[in-house]
Amino acid sequence: MIKMIREEDKKRLEKAGYRFCGKNGAVEICTWTKKAILDEDFCYKQKFYGIRTHRCLQMTPALPFCTHNCVFCWRDTSINKVKYDDEPDDPEELLDCLIKKQRELLSGFPGNKKANQKKVKEAFEPKHIAISLAGEPTLYPKLDEFIEVAEKRGMTTFLVSNGTQPDVIKNLKHLPTQLYITLPAPDEETYLITSRPLIPDGWQRILKTLEVVKELKGKTRRVIRLTLVKGFNLKNADGYAKLIKIANPDFVELKGYVWVGFSRERLHQYNMPTHKEIKSFAEELAKELNWKIVDEKENSRVVLLMKEDKPWRIMKFND
């Protein structure tokens, strides 16, 4: 039973495909996971980094806690709360529950003639955790222990953060397999309009996180992600470049905003850039950084930048 979410909000999220665990944990089957099981397509993270899309568990340990109300977020940000003031879920019990709920959500696939049954069987045993479904996971007080539990089970982890909790990231004893930091703007003015922060010093915290990311070189795979929205933050490549240089990450992802979910209540279809527009901006940013475009996935509207075009795919995630 989730204490922090009203019953009507919980029912709405369940209708959208969420299943809940403990007080503040949730899981949802990603569209790309379903497509992968049906042999229709796969997530761009598989193309870029080698994860197996059908074995991915998309979850959050911190619903409904977040420090932002980003205009581009496809989640229901109306339920966001800044302070994690509940008893944190036990990491072992949380992960057990998430896997159980994932299997329940996948229960229709074993009887689906269109499904790849080998993938279905593997999907019931997830090997990769995307800590990204909703909320800001660094607000979960037992995040370090949760990553440790995943490691002990031979699972890889993607931690996706908005960068407003630099001390949490700095003090992690168990780093994720890959750390994603969303850089939502090239300057503070754009940040305030785009991220609509619920804290007064969010921009300063993000700048501090970029410094932390720099110090994690060689300890975890580090990605700076730009979620780009026309009319908001799809501008000023030079500004982004200056900030990215602070973090000196392993990769930079430029991802076009997609007009889906609850974001349709805040934005218009016009705000969704084309892949051509994203690639054009990526070329501009690559020039500012003196980096290279090393990959892209057009139907995901995403482009990957890297300093050198080297065979990074040898760094595979667990199958």
Q: Is residue 215 part of a domain?
A: yes
Residue 268: its pLDDT value, please? 81
With respect to residue 1, please indicate whether it lies within any of the assigned structural domains: no
Residues lower than pLDDT 50 in the chain: 1-3, 313-314
Give the CA count within 13 Å in the CB-facing half-sphere of 299.
7
- pLDDT at position 142: 96
For residue 314, the model assigns a pLDDT of 41
Buried b (16+ CB within 10 A) or exposed e, 245-265: eebebbbbbbbbbbeeeebee
> What whole-number distance in Å separates Cα of residue 37 and Cα of residue 65?
31
Return the CATH number at 267.
3.20.20.70
Q: Over the stretch 48-87, which tens digit does the pLDDT of each residue have?
A: 998 899 999 999 999 889 999 898 887 777 777 777 777 8
Alpha-carbon gap, residue 113 to 239, rounded angstroms: 50
pLDDT score recorded for residue 129? 96
Check residue 283 and give its pLDDT.
98
Residue 178 lies in a domain: yes
Any idea what the Cα angle at residue 311 is, between residues 306 and 315, rounded to 5°? Answer: 95
Query: Does residue 2 fall inside a structural domain?
Result: no
Q: At what angle do helices 202-215 and 188-195 cross, to 10 degrees?
A: 110
Q: Which domain holds residue 218?
A: 7-314
Which distant-in-sequence residues (6+ apart) come within 8 Å of 281 by Cβ? 228, 234, 237, 254, 273
Which residues on adjacent β-strands are paired with residue 306?
Answer: 292
Q: Looking at the domain assignment, is residue 140 inside a domain?
A: yes
Whose tokens are 């490691």? That residue is 151
Domain assignment present for residue 179? The answer is: yes
Domain-located, residue 255: yes
Phi-psi sector, 271: left (phi>0), alpha (psi -120 to 50), beta:
alpha
Q: What is the pLDDT of residue 246?
A: 97
- For the chain, first and last CA: distance in Å? 33
Residue 319 belongs to a domain: no
- The per-residue pLDDT for range 177-186, each reduced to its tens digit, is 999 999 999 9
**What is the number of domains present in the chain?**
1
Tell me what pLDDT residue 2 has: 41
